[in-house]
Amino acid sequence: MSPKIEKIIVKYMTKSATADDLYILSEWVKSQINREVFKDYVKTHYAIYYNMSKPDSKKALDKLLFKIQKEKSFVYRLKKSPIYKYAAAAVIVGIITSIYFFKDNMSNNAIKNITPIIVNTSIEPGSDKATLTLDDGSQIVLEKGSSFQTLNAISNGEKISYEANNLKTKKVVYNYLTIPRGGQFFITLSDGTKVWLNSESQLKYPVNFIDGETRKVELVYGEAYFDVSPSQENNETEFMVFNDKQEIHVLGTEFNLKAYKDETNIYTTLVEGSVNLSYEDIHQKLVPNQQSNFNKENNDFSVNTVDVYNEISWKDGVFSFERKTLKEMMKVLSRWYDVEIVIKNKSIENEEFVGILRKNKKLEDILNNVKNFGFIKNFEIMENKKVVLE
């Protein structure tokens, strides 16, 4: 993005763009790639806009540009998902809708200048860590600074990779990778499949897949993003992921599976390729940008079109919340920071949130942002890793 376009976008966000500016911007967003850049750019920075007292002033523009310059690496991430099939005008309307939803919420919540009570300031963001359970039951803690190696696997403490064993074997040996609250981890399976595991998750998988047989793994619980090695590179063998009542049949694709123990719904979001889902007597094929929602308690099943970036951004260090309630957002944060979060005022639990937060921030920085957005009046971080929102 050129500095000229960047400045025009900022002027557009602050309602100070001229007719010439709008013409240039409308021509620029005719490109599909540029529309994606525009959408991510505005979606990332509209929160800054509402913290400016005079959005049409030069001072406000300079302030916004300065903050944007400091976060360039975060702003310019293009989505890996298929490009949106919307006209430029529709994209702009969608972004403005999000902005004004946020603005309305701000205007209805008076922000009081109350200093948060922070007893413990050491609540850092989560990190790469996991516990590896071998087939004999022994456990190895994997974390930064540690290393581990077996005949088939090697880990630097931040990720683990398995190599295919060329020896013909008919015995399947399983390992478990367990990610605690406040953790995340990356694993490459022996067939080349890549898996990102979110906090509070567990994956069961073979140390080595049996040649010619279906490749099977199980997400015991939690959330995982799968980039599956194609069947063409694995003797045309199918890849399957199991979870509770669900089976996912894959030939080679990318998808996100969310199935936490404390949640009644299983969400499967397809990014690329195709998958066939089976839930007892239910069978459904997904296409890119579709998400299935299966309720384990009443067996309700539905399929919806979603913005996949909001569902998979966690693996790239970003929390992307699209009309999520405060309660839903705090559940995500509680897992990542390994804390208990209590919303004291139950009337605000269902307030909806739209925004993007970086995962590498301290918890108090995140909560200060939420406080500035007007959803909460104050918060308290206690010694027992309990957080109370007021």
- Over the stretch 217-243, which tens digit does the pLDDT of each residue have? 999 999 999 999 999 988 899 999 999
Give the range among 118-127, 139-148, 241-250, 363-372 with minimum mean pLDDT.
118-127
Q: What percent of the chain has pLDDT over 90?
A: 44
Instruction: State the DSSP string of 209-268.
Output: PPTTS-EEEEEEEEEEEEEPPPGGGTTT--EEEEETTEEEEESS-EEEEEE-TT-SEEEE
pLDDT above 90 (res 303)? yes
Q: Are 185 and 197 in contact (CB under 8 A)?
A: yes
| Domains of the chain: residue spans and CATH | 3-107 (no CATH), 117-123+317-389 (3.55.50.30), 127-311 (2.60.120.1440)
Indicate the average pLDDT of the chain: 79
Angle between helices 32-49 and 88-107 (to 10 degrees): 10
pLDDT above 50 (res 320)? yes
Nearest alpha carbon to residue 193 among 162, 151, 158, 157 = 162
pLDDT value of residue 289: 94
pLDDT above 90 (res 55)? no
Per residue in 38-54, pLDDT (tens digit) is 776 765 565 444 444 44
Q: Which residues have CB under 8 Å from 332's CB, separation 6+?
A: 314, 319
pLDDT value of residue 5: 85
The residue that leads in pLDDT, 274 or 6, is: 274
Burial class of 106 by CB neighbour count within 10 A (0 to 12, 13 to 18, 19+): middle
pLDDT value of residue 166: 67
pLDDT value of residue 99: 35
> Does pTM surpass 0.75?
no
